[in-house]
Amino acid sequence: MCLFIKNMKNNGYTLIEILLVMLLLGILSGIIFSTYRNFIQEYKSQSIGVRKEMELLSLQIYLRKLIQSIGFGIPREISNYQIWSSPNCTDSNLSKFKNSRTIIGLANDCSISNGPKHDRLYFRSLFATGAKEAGCWWVILPDGEKKSMAVNKYGFTCNAIYENDTLCYYLDENRNYHKDYLDQPLNCTSNLKGPGFLFFYTKGNETPPEVFRLHLSAFDDNEIAQKQACAPKSGKLMLQREWNIQAQPIFDCVGGLKFDFIGNTTNNLPSAIQVCLLVQVSGRMSTKREVPLNSQCGPFQEEDPEWKYYRWRVIEERISLENLRGIK
Which of these ranges, 47-51, 174-178, 222-226, has the smallest mean pLDDT? 222-226
Q: Does the pLDDT of residue 70 top 60, yes or no? A: yes
Q: Which of 25-29, 156-160, 185-189, 202-206 has the highest mean pLDDT?
A: 185-189
pLDDT given at position 114: 80
Q: Does the pLDDT of residue 297 top 90, yes or no? A: yes
pLDDT given at position 284: 83
Q: What angle do CA 222, 61, 80 make, to 5 degrees?
A: 90
Query: What is the mean predicted confidence (pLDDT) over 117-138?
Result: 88
Instruction: Please state, in angstroms and as integers, the Cα–Cα distance from residue 152 to each residue in 69, 133, 149, 167, following that order.
Output: 11, 6, 10, 15
Phi/psi at 257 (5° precision): -145, 125
Alpha carbons 237 and 257: distance in angstroms, whole number: 8
Which of these ranges, 56-70, 109-123, 220-234, has the smallest mean pLDDT? 220-234
Pairwise pLDDT comparison (71 vs 132), residue with the higher score: 71
Q: Does the pLDDT of residue 47 top 60, yes or no? A: no
Instruction: Please state, in angstroms and as integers, the Cα–Cα distance from residue 151 to each residue in 127, 148, 161, 260, 322, following that order.
Output: 11, 9, 13, 28, 15
Q: Does the pLDDT of residue 138 top 70, yes or no? A: yes
pLDDT given at position 321: 93
pLDDT one-digit tens code per residue, 236-268 = 999 998 877 788 899 989 999 999 999 865 457
Q: Does the pLDDT of residue 46 top 60, yes or no? A: no
Pairwise pLDDT comparison (138 vs 29), residue with the higher score: 138
Percent of the chain with pLDDT over 90: 33
Alpha carbons 94 and 53: distance in angstroms, whole number: 32
Pairwise pLDDT comparison (66 vs 133), residue with the higher score: 66
pLDDT given at position 18: 76
Q: How sure is the predictor about 5, in pLDDT bands with cuts at 50, 70 and 90?
A: very low
pLDDT one-digit tens code per residue, 168-183 = 999 998 889 998 887 7
